[in-house]
Structure 1
Amino acid sequence: MADRYLHFTGTAPGRFLTGRLGLPQPAELRRWSAEHPRLEGSLLHRTAGGTPLAGLAGVLARTGLTVTGDPAAGERPAGVVLDATGVTTVAGLAEVHGALHPVVRSLTPGGRVVVLGAPLSRDDHHQAAAQQALEGFVRSLGKEIGRGRTAQLVRTVSATAAESTLRFLLSPRSAYVSGQVIEVTDTEPAAPESWDLPLAGRTALVTGSARGIGASVAATLTRDGAKVVCLDVPQSRAELARTAESLGGTALPLDITAPDAADRIAAALPDGLDILVHNAGITRDRRLANMAADRWASVLDVNLDSVLRTTDALLESGTLRPGGRIVATASIAGIAGNTGQTNYAASKAGIIGLVRTLAPRLAERGITLNAVAPGFIETKMTAAVPLLIREAGRRMNSLGQGGLPVDVAETTAWLASPGSGGVNGQVVRVCGQSLLGA
């Protein structure tokens, strides 16, 4: 559904009127396209604190952006990467201010700020305090820089392990991701043969992919080189077949809650699976006092229990190969809660629990498990939301607008990349830095 307010504020009368009334003035986001695959402008690389992160300069050079230490006179950089991994004291935080204060206002619309931090030390509480301070700094910066700009914090001890993450955050693919804290382990990933086709030779299964976010995920994984199997309920057989055919993929009509669902998936994938995307989900909203037991049970069964059962079975059977990727779908409702959605929020919070607990155990097999947590995404479901609630959902984030299914898809594709082996057990919000929750 078209966001008429967003388009209106992009016109001269719209800018004048909303400016006079003090209303939000969201900037139209520039997402990835084959014609514009990169940010347009230079990338500033600055350091705060002590020893810089080894190898970072080389990683940034491989992004395809022109890397510089200082902008030329009148230049508007497209992004800033601040290496703050060496900040260990409160005094060192002054260097963070000193590095970003002079340049943050000059960033191009849609520009990126990525701060690199270090894991919190268990032995040095001064270092831990200074590094934790970066989180509050970045989240606040993301809420104030405006004009479609974003800010993120990446905690890592290895530049090469963070390369896939930096490429994602410093590209148009991350347009609706802001205010996130992403931890990258020192696991050295196997870099893809081609960063343009990072999923070449890999097989992906996307549940709930007949339409909406799932169809967009399937399309994006296909763009990145994967062979995709599209799964959805038999009632959506015709639409599922059209989606799969358009992508050169395979349609698998199947109720994911069926007792034999995992067995049928394994039978359809005799050569195994590299990427498992749990996207299928439903809502049955009612306040708890008015919620019948069947509404509760159906949401928990589709959104959580089927994910647990299917994941366990595909891991046990070996269908999901070593080095595989699992991406589940949580929600900001599972983080912050939502009126009328006790069932839905419980199911999505359960996904977060699954990710945080199972991911470390899967690391021994080179498998990662992460989750995306969408906020207000423009779909048929949100188009049916009453007007005032819909407008509130769109505006209550740092970017002042709803996201698109492709925003969730791009984040999923990054997490599914073989180069993202250091990203494990993370829950990444795709919400434009929603003002709800953390």
Structure 2
Amino acid sequence: MPTSSLPAPLRGLTKQLNRTITQALGLTEAVTLRRTDPASVDQPLTAGPVLVIGSGPDADAVAHQLHEWHLDVRRNLAAPTQQRWGAVVVVLTDLEAPGQEAERVLALGGTLRELARSARVVTISRAVADGDAPALAAARGGVAGLVRSLGKELRQGATANGIELGADVAVTDPATIGTLRFLLSARSAFVDGQLLPVTAAAQAPADWTRPLTGTVAVVTGAARGIGAETVRVLARDGAHVLGVDVPAAGESLAAVMNEVGGVALQLDITAPDAGARILERVARGPFQGRLDVLVHNAGILRDKLLANMKPEQWESVIAVNLAAQVAITTAVAQAHPGLVQISLASTSGIAGNRGQTNYGFSKSGVIGATQAWAPVLAAGGGRANAVAPGFIETEMTASIPLAQREISRRVSSLGQGGKPVDVAEAVAFLASPQAGGINGAVLRVCGQNLVGR
């Protein structure tokens, strides 16, 4: 339940609790983030002019691409006369030894007091590779610490993220440019302190605003929350969507799918024939046997301290959150080897969480399965990635006790919880052709929560 829906006395208590927690722990005050509208693609890419820091061919190429998107691009440190910086892109692909980054990083520091609300800082660097000399590995590896630390310093909804390029990926490749576009945009509102690895080339979409045009996507757990918002965002980006949920959610599922002109399938994903039934449904009707994207979103919570946990509480969570994903992908990938799969993991699967041993096991297992599926699907032209939400405002998190819920909201660098659309945008990006160079990765949508990595 959002704070605005609480009775007046509870709203006052919540505000007081927020102030107390924020002041006591030195946390960030929450501001309204610049987010997307799931029903519209007509939104400026950045919140103001873009400064590109760096010199040489790679920095020139980045600036040229930003010009192609009709952005106001600057190459010097003179502050904008009318607006604060909407974004700063720091090109570090040429680093060979520690110390070479200093001039550019300190120049970045000089811009931070001139950032607009919800501004973006994005670094572009090379990933550490096997066989790198120690000095080269040190310079490249240091960028991750810079990005993660800077993300915790920024205020007013600004974020810091990085792109790590593989040895054979050019800054001009659509895989690089597409990732940069995502990180600059409002689609990445709750992504902070992330290093996205781009390890291969990709294709540019015919239309950057509707990159999934003509594709068919299946979304499980589609009746509400993150699943419903994912359906809306995928449809906005051009996909034909088959939404899957349990029969008990049939009415909600039908409403969501009717809203986007999709198709509803009432199905218990733990059923032994779940994969076969999905394949049977896409074989007819508007899908014509096509299936491009599979989003494993369905999940449940059965929180309990392990000492008090009953067998059914453990087994049901593993069945829905993990075993069903493996079984469905096994069936679907045989028929559609070029499948693009995005699975919903969780920061609880990365950092752990008290009372969630079952949930943590299932979500960590999702990450393991994703990494195993990545080379298998890549052999057929597909890929597998995971999205790991942190604290997202949904019906599931509304059941958390008030004090714990408020603390969970505040312990991110953005000082608030995320929204379902934040997760949906990350899913849609990973499903798009410009994300074709990202495989086996975990994209956290957590506002750089202080726990974990």
Same fold (TM over 0.5): yes
Task: Mark the CA change 1:272 to 1:239 in structure 2 (over 3 Å): closer, same or farther.
Answer: same
For 1:362, give the aligned amino acid.
Answer: L
How far the C-alpha of 1:191 sits from its partner, in A, is: 1.5
SS in 2 for 1:90: coil
SS in 1 for 2:244: strand
Q: In the TM superposition, what whole-angstrom CA distance separates every residue of 1:354-391 from its partner, at most 9, and x where no partner exists?
A: 12222123222221111100000001111121110010
Distance (whole Å) between structure 2 residues aligned to residue 374 and residue 400 of structure 1: 15
Partner of 2:262 in structure 1? 249
Q: How does 1:343-362 map to 2 (within 5 A)?
A: 343-362=358-377
Q: Are the equivalent residues in 2 in contact too, given 1:105–1:145 (CA < 8 A)? A: no
Q: Are the equivalent residues in 1 in contact too, given 2:370–2:385 (CA < 8 A)? A: yes
For 1:283, give the aligned amino acid.
Answer: L
Partner of 2:93 in structure 1? 85
Identity %: 46
Distance (whole Å) between structure 2 residues aligned to residue 205 and residue 21 of structure 1: 42
Partner of 1:422 in structure 2? 437
Partner of 1:433 in structure 2? 448
Distance (whole Å) between structure 2 residues aligned to residue 392 and residue 363 of structure 1: 40
Task: Mark the CA change 1:121 to 1:54 in structure 2 (over 3 Å): closer, same or farther.
Answer: farther
How far the C-alpha of 1:39 sits from its partner, in A, is: 1.8
Aligned residues: 427
For 2:181, give the aligned amino acid.
Answer: R
1:45 and 2:60 aligned? no
How far the C-alpha of 1:145 sits from its partner, in A, is: 1.0
Partner of 1:198 in structure 2? 211
Partner of 1:293 in structure 2? 311
Task: Mark the CA change 1:53 to 1:183 in structure 2 (over 3 Å): closer, same or farther.
Answer: farther
Q: In the TM superposition, what whole-angstrom CA distance separates every residue of 1:89-127 from its partner, at most 9, and x where no partner exists?
A: 111121232331211221101100000110213231211
SS in 2 for 1:82: strand
Partner of 2:421 in structure 1? 406
How far the C-alpha of 1:249 sits from its partner, in A, is: 0.4
Partner of 2:75 in structure 1? 69
Bigger drift between 101-110 and 257-266 goes to 101-110
Q: How does 1:203-214 map to 2 (within 5 A)?
A: 203-214=216-227
Q: 1:216 aligns with which of 223, 226, 229?
A: 229
1:327 and 2:355 aligned? no
1:306 and 2:324 aligned? yes
1:95 and 2:103 aligned? yes
Bigger drift between 353-362 and 31-40 goes to 31-40
Bigger drift between 22-31 and 305-314 goes to 22-31
Q: Are the equivalent residues in 2 in contact too, given 1:184–1:423 (CA < 8 A)? A: yes
1:158 and 2:170 aligned? yes
Q: Are the equivalent residues in 1 in contact too, given 2:53–2:59 (CA < 8 A)? A: no
For 1:390, give the aligned amino acid.
Answer: R
Q: RMSD of aligned C-alpha atoms? A: 2.3
SS in 2 for 1:91: coil
Partner of 1:268 in structure 2? 281
Task: Give unpaired runs (5+ residues) of structure 2.
Answer: 284-288
TM-score, normalization: structure 2?
0.89
Distance (whole Å) between structure 1 residues aligned to residue 428 and residue 292 of structure 2: 12
Q: How does 1:52-201 map to 2 (within 5 A)?
A: 52=58, 55-70=61-76, 71-74=78-81, 75-123=83-131, 124-156=133-165, 157-159=169-171, 160=173, 161-187=175-201, 189-201=202-214
TM-score, normalization: structure 1?
0.92
Task: Mark the CA change 1:195 to 1:21 in structure 2 (over 3 Å): closer, same or farther.
Answer: closer
Task: Mark the CA change 1:42 to 1:297 in structure 2 (over 3 Å): closer, same or farther.
Answer: same
For 1:294, give the aligned amino acid.
Answer: E
Task: Mark the CA change 1:28 to 1:122 in structure 2 (over 3 Å): closer, same or farther.
Answer: same
Distance (whole Å) between structure 2 residues aligned to residue 368 and residue 424 of structure 1: 5
Q: In the TM superposition, what whole-angstrom CA distance separates every residue of 1:365-418 from its partner, at most 9, and x where no partner exists?
A: 221111100000001111121110010010000000010000000000000101
Task: Give unpaired runs (5+ residues) of structure 1.
Answer: none
For 2:2, give the aligned amino acid.
Answer: A
Distance (whole Å) between structure 2 residues aligned to residue 54 and residue 363 of structure 1: 32
Q: Are the equivalent residues in 2 in contact too, given 1:244–1:251 (CA < 8 A)? A: yes
Distance (whole Å) between structure 2 residues aligned to residue 363 and residue 101 of structure 1: 40
Bigger drift between 362-371 and 212-221 goes to 362-371
